[in-house]
Structure 1
C-alpha cells in the first residue's frame, strides 16, 4: 500500500472491547493497511466522539473511521474531523444530525437486546451516581453473538464493557456522512440492532451497503473477512 493509504481506525461499540476487531485487524494488516483499534470510553456520545476526533486528528495522513454498533454513532460525529476521508458502519447506528440512538431505534420494534439489559450504578464527580448498562450474562450469547462459538461467548459475556445509559438519549451534533463517503454492512440476523434499523439508516445516509445474511451483531468477530472486505473497498476508494 502507498503512503497515501488511509489509516483505518476501528471503533468498537457497547458490551465489547477492541479485541472484538482481532480478526479484522489481522485481515487488514495482512494487506499492509495501517490500522488502530482504540479503547472506546463508552461514557457518552459527545465525550466519546470528542475523544475519537482528537485521536483521529493526531494521526498523520488520511483516516477511515469504522464503527460497530454504538461506534457508528461516534464516527458520525467524529467524522467531521478534517483528515477523515471515509466512514464504514458495521451493524451500526447511522444517526442524522440532532437524532439520538433511542429516536432512531424507536422508529422500529424493540429487539431482544432491549429486554436483556441490566442496570448498574457508578460514581460521578458531580454528585448522584450515574447508570450504566450491560447485557444479562445468560442472554448475551443469543442476543449479541449467536454465530460465535459458545466457549468464546462465555468469555465475552463476563468481559463485556458497560455503556453509560445516557448515551442512548444524547443527540448527534453533526452527521459526517453528509460530506464524506460512507459504507455500511448490515448484519441480517442481528438481535441487538434490528437489521431494518441498519438498512433504513444506511440508505438514508446514501451509504454503499452490503448484507451478511446470517450474521449476528458480533459480525466483526464471526465474519472478519466480510467486514475487512468492505473496509478494503473504502480504503481503495479513498486512497
Structure 2
C-alpha cells in the first residue's frame, strides 16, 4: 500500500495558511500533503466538499482537522480511502450531534463574547449570517503568546463561518470506524479544552496529547509536537 496522503483541514475564522509551519515540515520530510480551503458555508456542505477532495486522491488518506475542521473530518472521514483521523483542538462530534450541543455541555470560552454576526446574501433565498471574531480580540483568544505581527494578520484575514454550521448535526461519526488521535492545547481560549477532552475520551482515541501552555493555534506555537502526532498516526496506519 502506498504511503497515505496527509490532508490538512483548517478551522473556522482561518484558511489553509494557518497550517503553514506544519505543512512546511511535512513537505520537508518528504510526505505528500494537500491543504484545501473550506467554503465555510455549512458543516454538511463543507464535509461533502472535503470528502470529494479525499475521494479524488489516489490511495489512502490521513485526515487532519483543526478546530471546526475536526467536525468536518468527523463526517468526511467516512470516505473509504480515509485510514485515520487526527484532531487538533478539534470537535469530535457524535452521530446526530451538532456543534452547539457539544459546546453546550461545558462553560463558554472567551470566544463566545467576541463573536460578530453579519448578514451575507444568498442567491434566491433569505440572507444568511456570517460569524466572525472581533478583530481586536482575535490575537488574544486564538494565539496568546505568539508574535502579534503574525496574529494581527490572521485577525484581519479571517474567513467567517456561516451560522448554520453550528446547528447541523453530523450524519455520521467516522471515528467509530477509523482510528483517531487528538491534541489538546491546554491554554486554548477559543474552545474550552474540556470540550476537546470530552469528545476525544468519548470516541476512545488511540492517543491524546496535552500541550501545556499552548493556544488554539497550536500549529504555530508547537508545530513539532503537531508533526510528531501526525507522523505517529502515519506509522500506525501506513
Tell me whether 1:141 sits opposite 2:139 in the alignment.
Answer: yes
Where does residue 234 of structure 2 map in the other structure? 235
Tell me whether 1:19 sits opposite 2:29 in the alignment.
Answer: no
Q: CA deviation at 1:26?
A: 1.2
Where does residue 163 of structure 1 map in the other structure? 161
Tell me whether 1:206 sits opposite 2:204 in the alignment.
Answer: yes
Q: CA deviation at 1:4?
A: 1.5
Tell me whether 1:194 sits opposite 2:192 in the alignment.
Answer: yes
1:35-77 deviation per Cα after TM superposition (whole angstroms, max 9, x unaligned): 0001111111110000000100000100000000000000000
- In structure 2, which of residues 91, 94, 108 is the aligned counterpart of residue 93 of structure 1? 91
Distance 1:147 1:25 in 2: 21
Where does residue 57 of structure 1 map in the other structure? 55
Tell me whether 1:175 sits opposite 2:185 in the alignment.
Answer: no
Distance 1:147 1:197 in 2: 22
Calculate the TM-score normalised by the size of structure 2.
0.98
Q: CA deviation at 1:127?
A: 2.0
Where does residue 112 of structure 1 map in the other structure? 110
Runs of 4+ in 1 over 6 A off after TM superposition: none
Where does residue 7 of structure 1 map in the other structure? 5
Where does residue 29 of structure 1 map in the other structure? 27
The CA RMSD measured in Å over matched residues stands at 0.8
1:10-50 deviation per Cα after TM superposition (whole angstroms, max 9, x unaligned): 00000111011111011111221110001111111110000
1:114-139 deviation per Cα after TM superposition (whole angstroms, max 9, x unaligned): 11001111100232110011100111
- In structure 2, which of residues 149, 152, 155 is the aligned counterpart of residue 151 of structure 1? 149
Calculate the TM-score normalised by the size of structure 1.
0.98
1:145-169 deviation per Cα after TM superposition (whole angstroms, max 9, x unaligned): 1122111111111000000011011
- In structure 2, which of residues 43, 46, 56 is the aligned counterpart of residue 45 of structure 1? 43
Distance 1:79 1:229 in 2: 21
